[in-house]
Amino acid sequence: MRRIRITISYDGTDFHGWQVQPGLTTIQGTIESVLAGIEGVPVHVTGSGRTDAGVHALAQVAAFSLANPIPLANLRKAMNRLLPRDIRVLEVEEAAADFHPRYAAVAKTYEYRILRGEVCPPFERRYVHHHPYPLDEARIFELARLLEGEHDFSAFAASDERDSQGRSKVRRIFCSHAERRGDYLTYRIRGSGFLKHMVRNIVGVLLEAGKGNLTRDNVLARLEPGCKIPAGPTAPARGLFLVKVEY
């Protein structure tokens, strides 16, 4: 049995997220269906993380085991021929038998794109959060840096079925940075790992600060251990991209 690692890119607009869900079209389910046709038996695909419904990926990493001796280049061609055009396999390579794309990852980078122009072009609407309203962008740039370091991100995490396991919600953020380029306000964050809706909730909080509804102290309070402030507001999924997974 071979362990195969793939790097994939996808437009998440028309999918109900990464994870398989009964009766719903998902990224994982679509890839598994294609691989089952190639292998002749069900194939389980594991991703580096579970992107939400409507979230996109420039370079998601996934892995699966395959008995089929098909050459890697041919496997990539076969998968791209069978997959919908919203999902593309960029790279295929052999991996160690115990490779797990989530547990082996040391860092991930996400990017959130906000269009500040008055009019959102129709060809951009699926990939940006259109916010043409007044914002104190300098405040957003300043407060984005507060997320760097090791913090308890409970106040930025949506409820998860795994919460009952008592897992820590402390994460280390290596870089949290916002900048304006032309009509685009882009927020980029790189960290050791991320919680459910964490990046979208961070963006939502930064936008509220930019509107003047939250202060620096309000943001810092959300990083205090044991903070009970409810998560949110949650920025729309369409502006979020998984950019890179590092090993």
The answer to whether 52 is a known catalytic residue is: yes
Return the sign of the alpha-carbon dihedral for residues 111, 107, 219, 168.
positive
Half-sphere exposure of 175 (CA within 13 A, CB side): 12
**56-66 and 129-130 beta bridge pairing:** unpaired
Distance (Å, rounded) from C-alpha 121 to C-alpha 137?
A: 22
Measured CA to CA, the distance from residue 48 to residue 60 in angstroms comes to 7
Residue 236 DSSP one-character state: P
Q: Counting Cβ atoms within 10 Å, is residue 94 exposed (0-12), middle (13-18) or buried (19+)?
A: exposed
The residue type found at 26 is T
Contact partners, residue 91, CB within 8 Å, separation at least 6: 6, 7, 76
Sign of CA dihedral 16, 247, 243, 93: negative
Looking at 14, 52, 98, 160, which residue is catalytic? 52
Which of 62, 75, 84, 77 has the alpha carbon at shortest distance from 11? 84
Q: How many CB atoms lie within 10 A of CB 93?
A: 12
Active site residues: 52
